[in-house]
Amino acid sequence: MFCFARFRLPVLLLAAPLLGSPAPRLAAPATELVIVGTVHRPTRLFNPDSVAAILARVQPELILVELDSSFFTPAFELKTPGRENEDLGVARYRRQHPAVRLRPFDIEGRNEFHRRHQLLTRPGEVLARLDALYQSRQLTPAQGTILDRYYALTDSLTRYNQQPPAVINQPAVYALAERRQHYQFQQLGDVVAARPELSEYQAFCRLYADFWDQRNQAMARHIRQHLARLRPRRVVVLVGHAHKYYLLRELAPHAAAEGFRLHEYYQLGPGS
């Protein structure tokens, strides 16, 4: 009997921790993240009703809007009602779904930065000066080609502003926006840098291009922070459609590790 017990004891000691082991934890379901490229001014085919209909289709728990925290109260309500397409559509949806959360995701101090550096007016001055050089045949052929291509891409992208949401939110449009923004911030900047008569604008063009990158990177970072902090089941991000390619590029590499999946709004519905 003594030998029997001596050989049984190690088996019992090894087995004991297994009896008290917790059940394996199930992974939390991935957050469904929907980025909707928008137009800020209502059109016949993309208006506040369109925004409200997209939200009703997706039924998000969280809506992220293209504003910074200065527009919000500590309770995350807008200080003043907005007047753009997205603001009006969100307000209509939240009247029926008051529990849905609203958060800002734009870079902090956006509007003040715009005012301080004249980002809403000075790019037009630069383009007017470039156009004057073009019309007077002072640009080199290569520089003239860059300006021609920029105008063509801008015209093509602007035409999409009159289309419905399902047309705007297509990969071909994101690719077009990426090409157009490359010409605006890199190619035109290179032309300005090469023209001595535009030296007064060279530092501005660098700042303008840098802010485009910094702003989009901050947007993507804030989106990820909201997902990590709030862990919503579904999120809709409303953003001007020229930003969408950049956000997709920034967010996609983090999706698997951070537990979210990117979807188009028309891929989801209330029952999915």
Contact predicate 104/67, CB 8 Å: yes
Give pLDDT, residue 270.
61
Q: What is the DSSP letter of 260?
A: E
Whether residue 271 has pLDDT greater than 80: no
Render pLDDT for 50-91 as a digit per residue (tens, 0 to 9).
Answer: 999 999 999 999 999 999 999 999 999 999 988 999 999 999
Render pLDDT for 190-224 as a digit per residue (tens, 0 to 9).
Answer: 999 999 999 999 999 999 999 999 999 999 999 99
What's the mean pLDDT in 1-12? 37
Give pLDDT, residue 241.
97
Tokens at residue 159, please? 């035409």
Tokens at residue 234, please? 């579904």
- Residue 56 makes CB contacts below 8 A (sequence gap 6+) with 93, 270
Arithmetic mean of pLDDT over the chain: 90
Domain ranges of the chain: 31-112+219-267, 118-211
Give pLDDT, residue 28.
66
Render pLDDT for 254-270 as a digit per residue (tens, 0 to 9).
Answer: 999 999 999 999 998 76
Q: What percent of the chain has pLDDT over 90?
A: 86
Q: In CATH, which of 3.40.1010, 1.20.120, 2.40.50, 3.10.450 is domain 31-112+219-267?
A: 3.40.1010
Render pLDDT for 225-242 as a digit per residue (tens, 0 to 9).
Answer: 999 999 999 999 999 999
Whether residue 49 has pLDDT greater than 90: yes
Give pLDDT, residue 13.
35
Give pLDDT, residue 220.
98
SS3 47: coil
Distance CA 105, CA 68 (A): 6
List alpha helices for the chain, DSSP H: 2-19, 48-58, 85-96, 110-117, 122-135, 141-159, 165-168, 171-182, 188-194, 199-230, 244-251, 255-258
Give pLDDT, residue 19.
40
Lowest mean pLDDT among 15-19, 118-122, 168-172, 249-253: 15-19
What's the mean pLDDT in 126-150? 97
Contact predicate 61/235, CB 8 Å: yes
Sign of CA dihedral 91, 96, 98, 102: negative
- Residue 63 makes CB contacts below 8 A (sequence gap 6+) with 55, 90, 93, 100, 101, 102, 103, 235, 236, 238
Give pLDDT, residue 81.
87
Q: Which residue has the higher pLDDT, 102 or 24?
A: 102
Burial class (CB in 10 A: 0-12, 13-18, 19+), 116: exposed
What's the mean pLDDT in 114-135? 96
What's the mean pLDDT in 178-197? 98
- Alpha-carbon separation of residue 229 from 106, 126, 127, 224 (angstroms): 17, 42, 42, 9
Give pLDDT, residue 18.
38
